[in-house]
Structure 1
Amino acid sequence: MRVYLKDDILFINQEDLPPYKKGGSMVRNSYFWALKSISCYARKGCDWEFDQAVWVALCRMLLSFAQSGYLGDSEVMLEFDQDTPIPPSLRSISTWL
């Protein structure tokens, strides 16, 4: 998932967010709701925002879904631009584009 930082807020690109599909996969829908539940702003058609206070929880949640084997790396990995330093609390689930 492509991400960027602005004023200590992590933004996930709206195009990379998991979709919610009525009648869809239980794992994917659970992933959608778990991610949305810890965001500080998650409107349809907008990038989702995550305060620094939830970054550790976000990292743990992403690692848990990654380890489940149901989702691909591109769905749970945070991808930063090359020139953006990755915050220490997000390093275990992050990479550079």
Structure 2
Amino acid sequence: MEQYMKNGTRSSTYHLIATTSWLGMGEVATKDVFDWIATEPLILVASGTIARLLNDLATHEIDHERGDTASSIECYMNVYGVSKEEAQMEMRKIIENC
């Protein structure tokens, strides 16, 4: 679950969106801004986590039907031995906390 979240947060593309959005801002896009983004600030990590978990909640059934098991729901169920409903409830708690 920990490894999934680490990769899942990055694959949500929030980090990429934040980085590329600065490019169109002209002179405000300084090296300091990009250095800050590279530190993976909490706001980007939290946004990426929210996006990833919301996506997993919305697409879990479809992904499961086509054989994709890599989702936060599946990982949480496997690691903690809980039901799908309990895993979904935990993902909602994490989203709210972020």
TM-score range with shorter-chain normalisation?
A: 0.3 to 0.5
The structure with the largest alpha-carbon Rg is 2
Q: TM-score, normalised on structure 2?
A: 0.32
Greater relative CO, 1 or 2 (CA 8 Å, sep 6+)? 2
Q: TM-score, normalised on structure 1?
A: 0.32
